[in-house]
Structure 1
Amino acid sequence: MNGAEHNAGVTWYEQDERYLAAHYQPGLLLDLLLTRNISSHKVLRGTGLFYDDILAGSSRLSVRQLRQLISNGEKISASGDLSFRWGQLLWPGHYGLPSQLLQHAGCLDQALTVLGQYRRQLSPLLVPRVFTDRDYCYVQWLDACGLGEQKRFMVETAMTALSSYSRWQSRQPLPWEYGFSYAQPRTYEQYRTHLGGTLYFDLGVDVMRIPKAWLHEPWPQASATAFRVAARHLHYEPPQPGSGFSEAVYQHLLQHIQQPLSLAETAEHFGMSSATFKRKLQRHDTHFQHLQDQVRLHASLYCLHILGWSNEQLAQYLQFNDLTNFRRAFRRWCGRTPGESRQLFLQI
């Protein structure tokens, strides 16, 4: 594998590593495009794959190759609904034992645990980070391996996947609400059609939430026996690196958020020179300052809106010398002041 291993046992996979089974989620996307009577050569142009490779059932492709397939698909499908239609097909899927766990999960809480534990197979491009407060369960979607221009497409796909899957399992629509880090797109009507619910844009974070009461509502078609058998078999499979490189850097910065790390210190943790580290981040369509700002913004939003912290508490937590510097930094991270952000979230 291309991924490196830190001396503390931290492993990751990289954007150019061929770890995605081509006949799994990429195959579903390919099928959606081939139904339009378009040549497979046109759909797969630039990916380095041929249709026969995928049919063989043994080919692997990288994040970069999948991004090229997504880019081709967006150009071919002008309707703006490709990501949503792909998401509707994504889970439980046909991805071996992890899919069996999803199929037989007894409730939403159990399903979210499965998504987190086996996300390399089930959600390899976006990390589902799950947390709760007194009233709600939140699922934040975090870029694992540098999606670049395809990140919005994957956010649409992942949110649709979880919504469709939970509706199928519970046999009723669940009251999900959806928040997006980006501004309202031109394809807004597709969001209304495929997601429904309440939609919020320009929040600085990609997140879904649902009242906690739905977490343990029993799902009627669950099989506890089948779930336990699949879980037992998975227990004996060798562990795989669970983090994409961008995600691994994000998590390390988050763990040290109160002791802000320099680029050189972070590069040393990952066993690289500063120059090599910067080049690797560039190959993952990101850079150190962006990841550091993202970590601080996400932590700030959590502390402000979930924990109810004051500006003073948060500024002290993030090691800012004064409130003016904190407000200035917060505006740089998300385009608004902490007060403006509070007003926005009060409307949600």
Structure 2
Amino acid sequence: MNLWYDIDSPVIAAHEFPAVLIDLACSRDIEPDKLLRGTGIFMDDFLSGQLTIKPQQCLALIGNTQKWLPAADTAFLAGHRLYPGNFGPAGTALTQAPNLMEALQALQAYGFILTPLLTPRLSLDSEFAYLYWHESCAESAHSAFLRHMMMTAVTSLCRRLCGLSLPWEYFLPDEAQHPEQYAVNWGNRVRAGRHYTAMRLPRALLSTNCPSGSASMAMIARAQCERTLGSRPALGFIAFIDQCIRKRLPGHVSLELVADELQMSPATLKRKLKKHGSHFQQRYDTVRKELAIEWLTRKQLDVEEIALRLHFHDSRNLRRAFKRWTGVLPSAL
């Protein structure tokens, strides 16, 4: 059994994530044939409820959605429509969670179904809960669309589950392009230009009850997921490589060690990374950048300690790398 899915693996049920984009376009009087052109998806197959498509087909569908629905609010509208959706037991585990903590844990556990193109990672400290979003299969021209869609989906879901708006904060890697959409859909707690993608909430709010949730239904749904989904790969290839690197740090990391862990040759790993639009040094630097930002801003570690953990010769080398990664020095954070 593969531990990951590739960009050309047919693992995404068309009636789950892709259906939201198709239905949104149809609601705006866009002909389905236009939306599906060049994707390799056909409407009759989609309506059968049996079609599974590849991540690269889903990305092509997003590209067509942006072409035919170029308005600034398209990604946000799609996000509001995403959940509960037609996601089977994974959707039930998400929407029947008895409290917010279990809902976010279900989102992380079954992200390969609920959000197959971006991987959510829940991280807790003494004060806050962070929901980070990572590339799953490939970095693409549609990353901003996906960020807006998925963060809106979680915001909308939490409001529906808890019966109130939660004080989420939003961290985006780019500068805000459509501030009016953030204000309407997310409120005024948007922090742009932060070099990572995450949502943050006071940890105490994770115990917030979901009035419409059912602990027994959520438990049954999770058991069904374990029985029927246990053999499916839980991470896209890029997310899986990043996870391998993240787990190895602050220990030694190399292409050869990761290839050995995946039981493939270094040359095969290089070819697979190239197929997914990346290479090992890019993955290594991406993970080190993410950890450096987390350790600087959340753990308040000093630069010398972070340099040691991330295998830089000294703090000056880390500062140079950080400037190259983010455009600013660590002190700016």
**TM-score bracket, shorter-length normalisation:** over 0.9
Kept in 1, the 8 Å contact 2:182–2:188? The answer is: no
**Secondary structure of the structure 2 residue equivalent to 1:307:** coil
Alignment of 1:211 onto 2:213:
no
Kept in 1, the 8 Å contact 2:11–2:52? The answer is: yes
Which is further off, 71-80 or 269-278? 269-278
Distance in structure 1 (CA, Å) of the matches to 2:142 and 2:114: 18
Matches within 5 A, 1:1-348: 5=2, 11-185=3-177, 187-239=178-230, 240-341=232-333
Q: Rate the CA distance shift 1:131–1:238 in 2: closer, same or farther, 3 A.
A: closer
Distance in structure 2 (CA, Å) of the matches to 1:114 and 1:92: 13
Distance in structure 1 (CA, Å) of the matches to 2:146 and 2:229: 28
CA drift of 1:339 comes to 0.2
**Secondary structure of the structure 2 residue equivalent to 1:149:** coil
Letter in 2 for 1:247: A
Distance in structure 2 (CA, Å) of the matches to 1:162 and 1:310: 33
Kept in 1, the 8 Å contact 2:40–2:57? The answer is: yes
Letter in 2 for 1:210: L
CA offsets, 1:121-173, max 9 Å, x none? Answer: 11211111111122111000011111411111111111001000000111111
Letter in 1 for 2:133: W
Report percent identity of matched pairs: 34
Distance in structure 2 (CA, Å) of the matches to 1:280 and 1:272: 10
Letter in 2 for 1:54: F
CA offsets, 1:303-324, max 9 Å, x none? Answer: 1111111112111222222221
Kept in 2, the 8 Å contact 1:179–1:205? The answer is: yes
Kept in 2, the 8 Å contact 1:178–1:197? The answer is: no
With the length of structure 2 as denominator, give the TM-score of the two structures. Answer: 0.95
With the length of structure 1 as denominator, give the TM-score of the two structures. Answer: 0.91
CA offsets, 1:27-47, max 9 Å, x none? Answer: 111011112222211110110
CA offsets, 1:271-304, max 9 Å, x none? Answer: 3343432232122122222211110011111111
CA drift of 1:263 comes to 2.8
Letter in 2 for 1:96: G
CA drift of 1:189 comes to 1.9
Structure 1 portions without partners, runs of 5+: 6-10, 342-348
**Secondary structure of the structure 2 residue equivalent to 1:215:** helix
Kept in 2, the 8 Å contact 1:67–1:147? The answer is: no
Distance in structure 2 (CA, Å) of the matches to 1:24 and 1:14: 18
Kept in 2, the 8 Å contact 1:175–1:197? The answer is: no
Q: Rate the CA distance shift 1:231–1:323 in 2: closer, same or farther, 3 A.
A: closer
CA drift of 1:59 comes to 0.7
Distance in structure 1 (CA, Å) of the matches to 2:182 and 2:278: 27
Kept in 2, the 8 Å contact 1:74–1:80? The answer is: no
Letter in 2 for 1:205: Y
CA drift of 1:238 comes to 4.7
Kept in 1, the 8 Å contact 2:17–2:115? The answer is: no
Distance in structure 1 (CA, Å) of the matches to 2:106 and 2:42: 32
Distance in structure 2 (CA, Å) of the matches to 1:90 and 1:71: 18
Kept in 1, the 8 Å contact 2:122–2:130? The answer is: yes
Kept in 2, the 8 Å contact 1:126–1:154? The answer is: yes
Distance in structure 2 (CA, Å) of the matches to 1:170 and 1:323: 45
Q: Rate the CA distance shift 1:225–1:261 in 2: closer, same or farther, 3 A.
A: closer
Which is further off, 314-323 or 101-110? 314-323
Distance in structure 1 (CA, Å) of the matches to 2:103 and 2:188: 21
**Secondary structure of the structure 2 residue equivalent to 1:47:** coil
Kept in 1, the 8 Å contact 2:289–2:325? The answer is: yes
CA RMSD across the alignment: 1.6
Distance in structure 1 (CA, Å) of the matches to 2:280 and 2:179: 32
Kept in 1, the 8 Å contact 2:15–2:86? The answer is: no
Which is further off, 57-66 or 115-124? 115-124
